[in-house]
Chain A
């Protein structure tokens, strides 16, 4: 087993901070100054949306990678990556409200209710919000076993985002499909996690029968 020193961890976290924040701030800066191509709103929505999905998938890669490389400390970068996934997703949602809908609140509500791809995207955001709000260690300790239950919703959130993405494109589904493949691969790495509870329920139903 390789040990990651505190120094290494700090370096990794610094890279995550910079790698997430710098592009986000730069993109907003360019969008405000009309330097983001023909339609800065569309460019910003794409950037923040894809960015959120990239970061979420990266956070789901951390634990299989830590296992594979046998570097347990790597897990300690996961929360930070997850929080940045939420930051990007929130930027995506706020960009939609402020720059796409331009604060037309009645439309925001009807869009979330009536447009399925927006409904699922919003649901994914709510899950990420709950996870971020309960990400502090103190909260984790207080919530006990419920914390893990809540944070298992991340898989649903990822699936909803993949659905939101493939549903939102006009006809060019190549890229959304690539994302689906990556996500399914990441979920398959955890198949035991999903199968165990299923087996348990089967046993209980048998016993009951």
Chain B
């Protein structure tokens, strides 16, 4: 009895010291066992689950420049007008308060994989045993002539990282006169969130149908056809947005002119629109590219899929949208969260001298709103194959919705609430 009370008291003290220790967010340790760079779906999940799966024995420092997490999933509903920025924003304080993750608000300026240190933009260096990089994507603005300047001046937005541009694009749509044209351009796959551009176009079409019925949505896609949930999107567009939304495949954008509001293509003639939403080619997040980890076409980071350890640098794990995808794997928030957990378990095993899970498993569920209530999904299960050292979608599993439906609209919003909590609280 006495011993039990002692154990309980020690446990209570342990968690108390964790809580006290983590109350000071922004504490920069000289050495952290695990440093996680990037607090999105991948990094925040990895940070939390390394703490949880190690029974709170492994110290984790998360480095993230933003003060709060803003979700890309659901952000198209802010652009469509049925959700607000507050609806898609979650603070980082629960990661420290509930899980003892030391959250440092900063950028990582450089990584020294040989010395196992990261140097923060503010100056200090932190040593690590394991580094997890989850820097998301870098939008290659200079891959389209004129885009860099047009984006810097706020005239042509991508809004492909949820945040200020999400709201700014909404404002451009609100300011547009009825009878105007909204044009969204899509780069060749792979890019972040395959169905995202089609969901966004649907949201804008829904907004126009309600409030600016003379206006038009134009999708200009570098791919030959809709890359995700194609038949579902196209049927809904034909049934509900006829005369409002037009889809054109095989339109590769090569230049923009912010002054005349024109898009130039590799093959076809110019297109003029009132609100231009240009999504350029994407690649691994800047810090991953700078650190030489993007060893696949200088765009994506090759990883050992069992542990997500970089094929370029030992003890550096890369997850989320920055990685070179295994077959059938999308660049999605849900996938990044799943990868964060597999990586967390692998790191906990490695730092505990345990064998790494020989059969890791990933899932993906992705919901797209075709208006403010109706949703279509795609789901998949990815099992690691030790022989071929990659993930394979399990035969017979996964699939899409039969048709847009309201029940999935409810599930989609609940999915968001639960994954935000699973990632950040």
Is A bound to B?
A: no
Chain A residues within 8 Å of B, Cβ to Cβ: none
